[in-house]
């Protein structure tokens, strides 16, 4: 029964892979809108959430988005990204809610172990506070399953208990396209419309849609220090210490998160097409190259997610 | 020819879309190694990931890098040393994107296998060449068939451990075929492999010269995409209604867009449609997405439909083509009903896989979700339970986790359904326990 020659049985109606992913994401966004009474879309100004906004435009225009945009700001973001965030929300004429980790620190709900501790993991506290403040029953995020091991089994509609916790053993089976976003009061759903996308898919989509991005995604010269195989940017928050060798390198960011835990990579790619070429031949995963916080332990992400991290 | 001679690049005209497939088998069959090898040989594994598993392999005292560690997921599983949940993996050949649903093979995890199978269009069934067709093989094949995966690929792995002996492969092939015929499985292919050495996965290798068929990746590259093989009827469950009602914009004042995804078939501007279950008729005035107007929409496309007439439609309604369906309201969903009939029904017969930890409680009302519609449901009888190992029908009083049974439900509200064998999207449902909101069952309408 093994035919030596195979005829590709593909009809002209088959969607190409970006169309398929886009269509699935639109479907997921509309399910959130159809099933949840008070959702929010997490928008940071990063590339994955920029893609989410384009998908939301495709899903809901000419109507308004059936949810506000929400950013949990660590206060340690690059100003280019924050400016981009505000400009984009304004351009879309959608409501942007910003809640900051610094406010949680002022309230005393976030206590840093030391002044220079990364605030990244403390975003969870501020996010849960925002969820409670606004009564959100769902948060839409741009996480992808290819980012990290602990995410490979993440559901597209991921259930979080009253404490915002993610219990890997207590997730709802997800069959066909039948998503279950039902929650009791206090619980909520994290919905991930681009779960099935890879980093390359995201870049290909950005190119196809001609999406604007914060400038730091593209190659630029920046002072950095080489540390443990990663490049640490020299900034006011992360100044050079005695003995550090500061180099002026041409770099770009593959992810833009908290300044204290996001590292750029050496690159000459100053256009989306050059980034795609680099991504297609890259030998280091996105998180491996850029996330200073995931290096701590293999189970780092899983642990943070259990605590309510996105 | 290697499938990865093209690296994925922007602007490439060759894009055969996406294929979702399932791998079933246990760790012992070399399933994790097979997936690891596929990812590795298609260059989906990057240096830091590889470095991490090299370290782990060394720590566990292994001589070579254990590619199965690539699919080694959560802390809880690492502690138990088994896979307890469905994991999704991605790779691309530049011509096609693949989503692997990796289902664990252990007996107690029928529900995971059904979950993984529900979105797959092809299943790779792994057999250990030394062991041949096992009970587990039959179970996996039956479940793949039950969940409607149209293409099965039997991978006879560990050929290196039987000296790459052709007669071993042929014996397994014949034994499997006899069993597949009993089940009514139509499309099945066979391939001999050594996942460990990479023979016949992406590269042909040196050891299986007698096998003239395509490699595993060649089979995947040319496997039919979902919805590509038959003329399906148009089904459009409405997800969301867009009514911008902008008083200052006359164009949007009366705008009513019905948003959803084409679950099957296709539709064009001008086509006459019927809304179910109300049976109101109209015509397609426009098909839009992202500010663009399309002449037609095809399966798996998310679009917004605008109709000629102002009729009341809300989430949960289904739009079908007027000349596609023979409406039989109230008719039973099985038995004598002609094929290709979407019908509104208050009773469904189904094969049900129970996923919940508490058994199905016949006294309680559950919520059934099918397409974008919900209905309260009450069990109306269990015909039989299927013994998943012997594949025999056995009498059953109740249904517990991982059981598969033929059941009937009475519904408080009508659902618009197709038979699952004719339409996987409109024939499928999940059962929700309203006290916990958990998804506790998965059903396929007969």
Residue keyed to tokens 């290709």: B340
Q: What is the DSSP letter of B121?
A: S
- Nearest 5°: phi and psi at B252? -100, -5
Mean pLDDT of all residues in B363-379? 97
Whether residue B59 sits in one domain with residue B191: yes
Nearest to B225 among A10, A177, A182 (CB): A10
Contact B112, B85 (CB under 8 A): yes
Nearest to A2 among B190, B429, B437 (CB): B190
* B12 domain residue, yes or no: no
Same domain membership, residue B163 and residue B41: yes
Q: Residue B63 falls within a domain, yes or no?
A: yes
Q: Which domain holds residue B385?
A: 343-445
Contact in structure between A48 and A194 (CB atoms under 8 Å): yes
pLDDT at res. A165: 80
Mean per-residue pLDDT for B196-209? 92
In a domain, B230, yes or no: no
Task: Assign residue B117 the CATH number of its domain.
Answer: 3.40.50.300
Could you tell me which residues come within 8 angstroms of residue B347 by beta carbon, excluding any fewer than 6 positions away? B332, B333, B380, B408, B409, B410, B411
Question: Quick one: B199 and B77 in the same domain?
Answer: yes
All residues of chain A having their beta carbon less than 8 Å from the beta carbon of residue B188 are: 1
How many Cβ pairs closer than 8 A exist between chain A and B? 230
Give the distance, in angstroms, between the CA of residue A266 and the centroid of all CA atoms in the same chain.
Answer: 21
With beta carbons under 8 A apart, name residues in chain A contacting B428.
175-176, 178
For A7-61, the pLDDT digits (tens) are 444 444 578 999 999 999 999 999 999 999 999 999 999 999 999 999 999 999 9
Q: Final residue of a domain: which of B293, B322, B351?
A: B322
Residue B334 lies in a domain: no
Domain termination site, one of B192, B222, B252? B222
- Residue A261 pLDDT grade (very low, low, confident, very high; cuts 50, 70, 90): confident
Inform me whether the C-beta atom of residue B191 falls under 8 Å from chain A C-beta atoms.
yes
Nearest residue of B to residue A11, measured between CA atoms? B228
More reliable by pLDDT, A225 or B249: A225
Cα separation values, B416 from A217, B80, B275, B303, B420, Å: 48, 43, 10, 20, 12
Q: Do A62 and B255 touch (CB under 8 A)?
A: yes
Chain A hits for B9, Cβ within 8 Å: 276-277, 280
In terms of C-beta density within 10 A (0-12 exposed, 13-18 middle, 19 or more buried), how is residue A179 classed?
Answer: buried
Per-residue burial over B231-270, b if 16 or more Cβ lie within 10 Å, else e, is: ebbbbbbbbbbbebeeeeeeebeebbbbbbbbbbbbbebe
What pLDDT score was predicted for residue B184? 86
Q: State whether B367 and B310 are in the same domain.
A: no
Going by C-alpha positions, the residue among B362, B335, B331, B326 that lies closest to residue B346 is B331
Q: Output the pLDDT for position B374.
A: 96
User: Nearest by CB to B428, which of A11, A60, A176?
Assistant: A176
Cα separation, A62 vs B290, in Å, equals 8
Residue with tokens 């308004």: A64
Q: Which residues on adjacent β-strands are paired with residue A158?
A: A190
**Mean pLDDT calculated for residue range B126-150:** 92
Least confident of A102-111, B361-370, B423-432: A102-111
Least Cα separation, residue A177 to chain B (angstroms)? 8
> End of a domain among B195, B222, B249?
B222
Determine how many CB atoms are found less than 10 A away from the CB of residue A170. Answer: 12
B434 occurs within a structural domain: yes
Domains and CATH numbers, chain A: 17-200+300-306 (3.40.50.620), 211-290 (no CATH)
Q: By three-state DSSP, how is residue A191 classified?
A: strand
Q: Tell me which residue in A17, A152, A203 faces B15 most closely, judged by beta carbons.
A: A17
Reported confidence tier of residue B37, pLDDT bands at 50, 70, 90:
confident
Same domain, B178 and B282: no
Touching A: B residues 52-81, CB under 8 Å: 52, 71-76
Together in a domain, B91 and B52:
yes
- Measured between beta carbons, the chain A residues lying within 8 angstroms of B189 are 1-2
User: Cβ separation of B224 and A10 shorter than 8 Å?
Assistant: yes
Specify the pLDDT at position B125. Answer: 94
- Same domain assignment for residues B212 and B64: yes
CB atoms within 10 A of CB B213: 18
- 10 Å Cβ neighbour count for A293? 17
- Calculate how close chain B gets to A29, using CA atoms only, in Å: 10
Report residue A92 as tokens. Answer: 């879309």
Is B17 close to A277, i.e. CB distance below 8 A? no
Residue B40 forms contact with A (CB below 8 Å): no
Nearest to B240 among A33, A150, A152 (CB): A33
CATH number of the domain where residue B304 is located: 2.40.30.10
Closest CA to A25 of A76, A66, A70, A59: A59
Q: Of B230, B292, B48, which Cα lies nearest the Cα of A13?
A: B230
For residue B119, what is the nearest residue in chain A, using CA coordinates?
A176
DSSP-assigned letter for residue A122: G
- Burial letters B301-337, b for 16+ CB under 10 A, else e: bbbbbbbeeeeebebbbbbbbeebbeebeebebeeee
DSSP 8-state secondary structure symbol assigned to residue B116: H
pLDDT digits 0-9 by tens, B297-325:
999 999 999 999 999 999 999 999 997 65
B40 has pLDDT over 90: no
More confident residue, B33 or B204: B204
pLDDT score, position B9: 41
Cross-chain Cβ contact B437/A175 below 8 Å: no
Q: Which of A8, A183, A299 sits opposite B222 (nearest CB)?
A: A8
Report the residue of A19, A173, A290 to disrupt the B interface, i.e. the one with the largest count of B CBs within 10 Å: A173
Residue at token pair 């094969």: B351
Q: Same structural domain for residues B379 and B239?
A: no
C-alpha separations of B30 from B177, B278, B391 in Å: 22, 52, 25
Residue B438 vs residues A179, B40, B315, B433: alpha-carbon distances, Å: 11, 37, 22, 6
Q: How far is B384 from chain A (nearest CA, A)?
A: 23
B330 in a structural domain: no
| Alpha-carbon torsion, ordered B310, B312, B318, B323, to 10 deg | -40
Q: Cβ(A24)–Cβ(B17) under 8 Å?
A: no
* CA distance linking residue B442 with residue B355, whole number of Å: 7
Looking at the structure, do residues B297 and B379 belong to the same domain, yes or no? no
Polymer length in residues for chain B = 446
Same domain, B22 and B146: yes
CB neighbours (10 Å) of residue B342? Answer: 27
Report how far Cα B301 is from the mean position of its chain's Cα atoms: 17
Q: Is B114 on the interface with A (CB under 8 A)?
A: yes
Q: Which residue has the tokens 């680099």?
A: A278
My answer on whether B205 and B287 are in the same domain is no
Q: What is the distance between the alpha carbons of residues A148 and A120, in angstroms, rounded to a whole number?
A: 17
Could you tell me the two tokens for A238? 């992360």
CB–CB contact B261 A23 (8 Å): yes
CA A240 to chain centre: 28
How many residues does the structure list for chain A? 310
My answer on whether omega of the bond before B15 falls inside 30° of 0, hence cis, is: no
Q: Do the domain assignments include residue B4? A: no
Q: Which two three-digit tokens encode residue B276?
A: 């179910």
Range list of β-strands (E), B232-364 = 235-242, 257-261, 266-268, 272-276, 280-289, 292-294, 296-298, 302-307, 318-321, 343-354
CA angle B130, B59, B72 (to 5 degrees): 60
Q: Which of B52, B219, B301 sits opposite A23 (nearest CB)?
A: B301
Residues B173 and B287 in one domain: no
Q: What is the ipTM of this complex?
A: 0.89
Chain A partners within 8 Å of B222 (Cβ): 6-9
Question: How far apart, in whole angstroms, are the C-alpha atoms of residue B175 and residue B195?
Answer: 22
Q: What is the pLDDT of residues B71-104, one digit of tens each?
A: 655 454 555 544 457 889 898 888 899 999 988 7
Q: Is residue B213 part of a domain?
A: yes
Task: Report the C-alpha gap between A43 and A27 in whole angstroms.
Answer: 19
Q: Does B261 touch chain A (CB under 8 A)?
A: yes
Higher per-residue confidence, B297 vs B249? B297
- DSSP state, residue A90: H
Q: In B, which residues are within 8 Å of A176 by CB distance?
A: 118-119, 424-425, 428, 430
* A18 φ, ψ (degrees, to nearest 5): -70, -40
Q: Closest Cα partner for A227 from A250, A212, A251, A246?
A: A246
**Which of B:329-388 have CB within 8 Å of A?**
355, 369-370, 372
Count structural domains, chain B: 3
Closest chain B residue to the Cα of A149, Cα to Cα: B73
Distance, in Å, from the CA atom of A235 to the CA atom of A258, rounded to the nearest integer, reads: 12
Name the least confident of A285-294, B4-13, B68-77, B157-166: B4-13
Q: Model confidence over A129-175: pLDDT tens digits?
A: 999 999 999 999 999 998 876 678 889 999 998 887 887 777 899 99
Q: Do B222 and A3 touch (CB under 8 A)?
A: no
Q: How far apart are CA A256 and CA A291, in angstroms?
A: 10
Please name the residues in contact with B380: beta carbons below 8 A apart, sequence gap of 6 or more: B347, B407, B408, B409, B410
**Contact residues, B window 123-142, toward A, CB-based 8 Å cutoff:** none
Taking residue A163's Cβ as centre, other Cβ atoms within 10 Å add up to 12
User: DSSP labels for B22-81?
Assistant: EEE--GGGTHHHHHHHHHHHTT-S-HHHHHHHHHHHHHTT-SS--GGGGG---HHHHHHT
Inter-residue contact A136 to A187 (CB < 8 Å): no
> What value does the mean pLDDT of chain B take?
85
């Amino acid at each position: 029964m093994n035919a030596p020659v195979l005829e590709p049985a593909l009809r002209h109606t088959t969607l190409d892979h970006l169309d398929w992913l886009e269509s699935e994401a639109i479907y997921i966004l509309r399910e959130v809108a159809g099933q949840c009474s008070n959702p929010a879309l997490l928008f940071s100004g990063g590339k994955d959430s920029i893609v989410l906004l384009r998908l939301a435009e495709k899903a809901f225009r000419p109507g308004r988005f059936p949810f506000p945009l929400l950013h949990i700001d660590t206060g340690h973001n690059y100003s280019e990204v924050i400016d981009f965030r505000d400009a984009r929300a304004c351009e879309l004429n959608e409501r942007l809610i910003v809640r900051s980790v610094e406010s949680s620190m002022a309230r005393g709900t976030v206590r840093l172990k030391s002044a220079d501790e990364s605030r990244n993991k403390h975003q969870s506290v501020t996010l849960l506070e925002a969820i409670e403040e606004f009564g959100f029953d769902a948060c839409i995020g741009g996480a992808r399953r290819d980012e990290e091991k602990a995410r490979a089994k993440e559901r597209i509609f991921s259930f979080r208990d009253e404490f915002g916790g993610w219990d890997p053993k207590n997730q709802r089976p997800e069959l066909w396209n039948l998503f279950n976003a039902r929650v009791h009061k206090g619980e909520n759903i994290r919905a991930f419309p681009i779960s099935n996308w890879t980093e390359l898919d995201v870049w290909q989509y950005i190119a196809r849609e001609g999406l604007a991005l914060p400038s730091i995604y593209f190659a630029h010269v920046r002072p950095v220090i080489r540390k443990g195989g990663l490049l640490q940017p020299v900034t006011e928050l992360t100044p050079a210490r005695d003995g550090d060798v500061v180099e002026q390198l041409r770099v770009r960011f593959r992810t833009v998160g908290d300044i204290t835990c996001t590292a750029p990579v050496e690159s000459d790619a100053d256009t989306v097409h050059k980034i795609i070429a680099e991504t297609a031949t890259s030998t280091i995963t996105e998180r491996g190259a850029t996330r200073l916080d995931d290096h701590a332990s293999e189970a780092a992400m899983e642990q943070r997610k259990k605590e309510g991290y996105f | 020819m290697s499938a990865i001679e093209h690296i994925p690049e922007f602007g490439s005209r060759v894009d055969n879309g996406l294929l979702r497939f399932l791998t079933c088998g246990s760790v012992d069959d070399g399933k994790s190694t097979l997936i690891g090898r596929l990812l590795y040989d298609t260059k989906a594994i990057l240096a830091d990931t590889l470095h991490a598993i090299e370290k782990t392999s060394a720590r566990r005292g292994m001589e070579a890098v254990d590619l199965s560690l690539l699919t080694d997921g959560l802390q809880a599983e690492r502690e138990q040393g088994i896979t307890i949940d469905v994991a999704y993996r991605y790779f691309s050949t530049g011509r096609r994107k693949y989503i692997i649903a990796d289902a664990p093979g252990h007996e107690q995890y029928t529900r995971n296998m059904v979950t993984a199978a529900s979105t797959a269009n092809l299943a790779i069934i792994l057999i250990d060449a030394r062991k041949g067709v096992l009970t587990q093989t039959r179970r996996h094949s039956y479940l793949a068939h039950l969940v409607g995966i149209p293409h099965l690929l039997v991978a006879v792995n560990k050929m290196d451990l039987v000296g790459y002996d052709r007669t071993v492969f042929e014996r397994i092939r014949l034994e499997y075929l006899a069993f597949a015929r009993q089940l009514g499985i139509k499309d099945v292919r066979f391939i001999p492999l050594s996942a460990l050495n990479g023979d016949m996965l992406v590269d042909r290798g040196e050891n299986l010269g007698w096998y003239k068929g395509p490699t595993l990746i060649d089979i995947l590259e040319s496997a039919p995409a979902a919805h590509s093989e038959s003329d399906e009827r148009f089904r459009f469950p409405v997800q969301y209604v867009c009514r911008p009602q902008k008083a200052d914009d006359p164009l949007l004042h009366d705008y009513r867009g019905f948003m959803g995804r084409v679950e099957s078939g296709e539709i064009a501007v001008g086509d006459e449609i019927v809304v179910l279950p109300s049976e109101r008729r109209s015509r397609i005035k426009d098909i839009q997405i992202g500010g663009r107007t399309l002449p037609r929409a095809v399966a798996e496309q998310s679009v917004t439909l605008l109709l000629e007439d102002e009729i009341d439609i809300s989430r949960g309604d289904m739009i079908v083509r007027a000349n596609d369906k023979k409406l039989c309201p109230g008719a039973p969903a099985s038995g004598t009903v002609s094929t290709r009939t979407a019908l509104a029904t208050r009773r469904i017969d189904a094969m049900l896989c129970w996923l919940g930890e508490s058994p199905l409680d016949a006294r309680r009302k559950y919520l059934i979700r099918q397409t974008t519609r919900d209905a309260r449901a009450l069990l109306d009888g269990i015909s039989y339970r299927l013994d998943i190992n012997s594949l025999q029908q056995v009498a059953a009083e109740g249904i517990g986790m991982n059981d598969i049974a033929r059941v009937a439900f009475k519904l408080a509200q009508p659902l618009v359904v197709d038979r699952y064998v004719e339409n996987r999207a409109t024939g499928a449902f999940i059962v929700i326990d309203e006290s916990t909101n958990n998804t506790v069952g998965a059903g396929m309408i007969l």
